[in-house]
Amino acid sequence: MSTTEPTMSTEMTHMRREIEEVPQAVARLLDGSGAVLTEAGRGIRERDPQFVVTVARGSSDHAATFMKYAVELTAGLAVASVGPSIASIYGRKLRLAGSACLAISQSGKSPDIVAMAETARAGGALTVAITNTADSPLARASDYAIDILAGPERSVAATKTFINSAVAGLALMAHATGDDALLAALARLPEHFGKAIACDWMSVLSETIEKQKSLFILGRGPSAAMANEAALKFKETCGMHAEAYSAAEVMHGPLALVGPDFPVLALAARDA
């Protein structure tokens, strides 16, 4: 068992390089997949779904959770996550007539995600694949396939594919609802991402977190989805026991673990 303390490095890793590619990746998505986003949005608008289901795992599921809040807050549609095992392990069918299904997978090849997308389509859902692999089983199993155009991702820890998946979901919703203000805001995202990447996050975080073995990350609404993804990143890259909680729920049990100097990272969005 390794006893190495977690450390924060400024080395130019694959992950860091791919983070710096985010502004270009988002611009490429909005430009290169604009036509299919428009078409899929129109398809959803014409179907007029009564509810939305999402199918994803890992980082893709965190992007789906972000989309859940975005859809519920702006479109007023209930969104639920469907466990892929319902189709792949248990072989059950779901009655999804009158719904839209968003299936997210970077590779587009995960057998259980593909199986659930096929089951959703057979159950009456309008299916949309969000993937970084245009010619994939998931894309072929769906009514619409959105290529997020993030480019190759060599880091095991997803960065630009996670962000582009979330942005693709926002763009899809904007086209489905005819939200011109959201589309305009999305067009400005590459610039904002560039400014965020240029910020000095290391000096603030390293002093508080570098020598710690545990961490809580808190958020509400869309920020709760980002908290989940951030916790996964700390586990993957720092070997740190990081847990994400809703800021509304952390008082109910988890707070008992917090003592002096226990680090808590709060994602305090202005609308939460």
Summarize pLDDT for 58-80 with one digit per residue, the tens: 999 999 999 999 999 989 999 99
Q: How high is the mean pLDDT in each 10-residue block of the chain (272 residues)? A: 51 91 98 98 98 98 97 95 94 95 98 97 98 97 98 95 98 97 98 95 80 91 96 94 93 87 89 60
Beta strand residue intervals within 144-212, DSSP E: 144-147
pTM above 0.95, yes or no: no
Q: Do domains 14-196 and 201-266 have the same CATH topology?
A: yes
The tens digit of pLDDT for each residue in 181-223 reads: 999 999 999 999 999 999 988 887 877 787 888 999 999 999 9
End-to-end Cα, the chain, rounded Å: 41
Among all chains, which residue has been given the structure tokens 């994803």?
56
Residue type, 117: A
Q: What is the DSSP letter of 254?
A: G
Q: 157 is written with which tokens?
A: 């820890």
Cβ distance 144 to 37 under 8 Å? no
Report the topology of domain 14-196. Answer: Rossmann fold (3.40.50)
- In three-state form (DSSP H/G/I as H, E/B as E, the rest C), the secondary structure along 219-253 is ECCHHHHHHHHHHHHHHHHHCCEEEEEECCCCCCC
Report the topology of domain 201-266. Answer: Rossmann fold (3.40.50)
Whole-number pLDDT of residue 206: 79
**DSSP-assigned letters across all residues of 184-228:** HHHHTHHHHHHHHHHS--HHHHHHHHTT-SEEEEEE-THHHHHHH
Domain segments of the chain as ranges: 14-196, 201-266
In the three-class reduction of DSSP (H, G, I as helix; E, B as strand; rest coil), residue 112 is classed as helix
